[in-house]
Copies of this chain bind each other. A is one copy, B any other.
Amino acid sequence: MTASTGNHAVPPGSHDFAAVFAMLKPHMAALDVFMHAQLSAFEPEIRAMADYCIDTSGKRIRPALVFTSGWRGEVISPDLVRIAGVVELVHLASLVHDDIMDEAEVRRSRRTATREYGATAAVLLGDALFSHALNLATQFPTTEVCQEVSDSMRKVCAGEIIQTLRRGSTNISRADYDRIIDLKTAELFRVSCHLGGRFSGYSPEYVAAAGKFGRHLGIAYQIYDDLADFFGDEKRIGKTLGTDLASGKITLPLLALADRLPEVEQAGLIEEITGRRPPQPVLRIQQMNTLGVFAVVEAAVEQELRAAEAALASHGELPPVPLLLRLCEVLRHQVAGLRKGDDR
Give A residues with C-beta under 8 Å from B: 41-43, 45-46, 49, 94, 97, 100-101, 117-121, 123-128, 130-132, 134-135, 137-143, 146-147, 150-151, 153-155, 157-158, 160-162, 164-165, 183
Known: A146-B143, A165-B45. A158 touches B101 (CB 8 A): no
Residues of B within 8 A of A119 (CB): 101
Residues of B within 8 A of A132 (CB): 150, 154
Number of identical protomers:
2
| Contact A131–B154 (Cβ < 8 Å) | yes
Among B125, B138, B164, the residue within 8 A (CB) of A120 is B164
| Contact A164–B121 (Cβ < 8 Å) | yes
Among B97, B140, B157, the residue within 8 A (CB) of A131 is B157
| Contact B158–A135 (Cβ < 8 Å) | no
| Contact A97–B127 (Cβ < 8 Å) | yes
Residues of B within 8 A of A162 (CB): 43, 45-46
| Contact B101–A161 (Cβ < 8 Å) | no
Residues of B within 8 A of A165 (CB): 45, 117, 121
Output the least CB separation between A187 and chain B (Å): 11
Q: How far is the CA of A81 from the CA of B154 in the complex (A)?
A: 22
| Contact A161–B124 (Cβ < 8 Å) | yes
What are 15 A-B residue pairs whose CB atoms fall within 8 Å in the complex? A45-B158, A118-B164, A123-B126, A124-B158, A127-B153, A127-B154, A128-B158, A131-B157, A134-B153, A135-B150, A137-B150, A138-B150, A139-B143, A143-B143, A143-B146
Q: How far is the CA of A151 from the CA of B41 in the complex (A)?
A: 9
Residues of B within 8 A of A130 (CB): 127, 130-131, 153
Residues of B within 8 A of A118 (CB): 164
Residues of B within 8 A of A143 (CB): 138-143, 146
Known: A45-B165, A123-B100, A162-B43. A146 touches B154 (CB 8 A): no
Output the least CB separation between A85 and chain B (Å): 14
Output the least CB separation between A140 and chain B (Å): 7
| Contact A123–B150 (Cβ < 8 Å) | no
What residue of chain B has the Cβ atom nearest to residue A183's Cβ?
Answer: B43
Residues of B within 8 A of A151 (CB): 131, 135
Which 6 pairs across A and B sit closest by C-beta, in order of nearness?
A131-B154, A131-B153, A138-B143, A135-B150, A101-B120, A43-B158
Extra pairs beyond A118-B164, A131-B153 (19, CB < 8 Å)? A42-B158, A43-B183, A46-B158, A46-B162, A97-B127, A101-B124, A120-B164, A121-B165, A127-B153, A128-B158, A130-B153, A131-B151, A131-B154, A131-B157, A135-B150, A139-B143, A142-B143, A143-B146, A146-B146
Output the least CB separation between A153 and chain B (Å): 4
| Contact A124–B42 (Cβ < 8 Å) | no
Output the least CB separation between A275 and chain B (Å): 15
Q: How far is the CA of A270 from the CA of B139 in the complex (A)?
A: 46
Residues of B within 8 A of A49 (CB): 161
Residue from A46, A140, A157 whose CB has the most chain B CB atoms within 10 Å = A157
Q: How far is the CA of A142 from the CA of B97 in the complex (A)?
A: 30
Q: How far is the CA of A100 from the CA of B150 in the complex (A)?
A: 23
| Contact B101–A155 (Cβ < 8 Å) | no
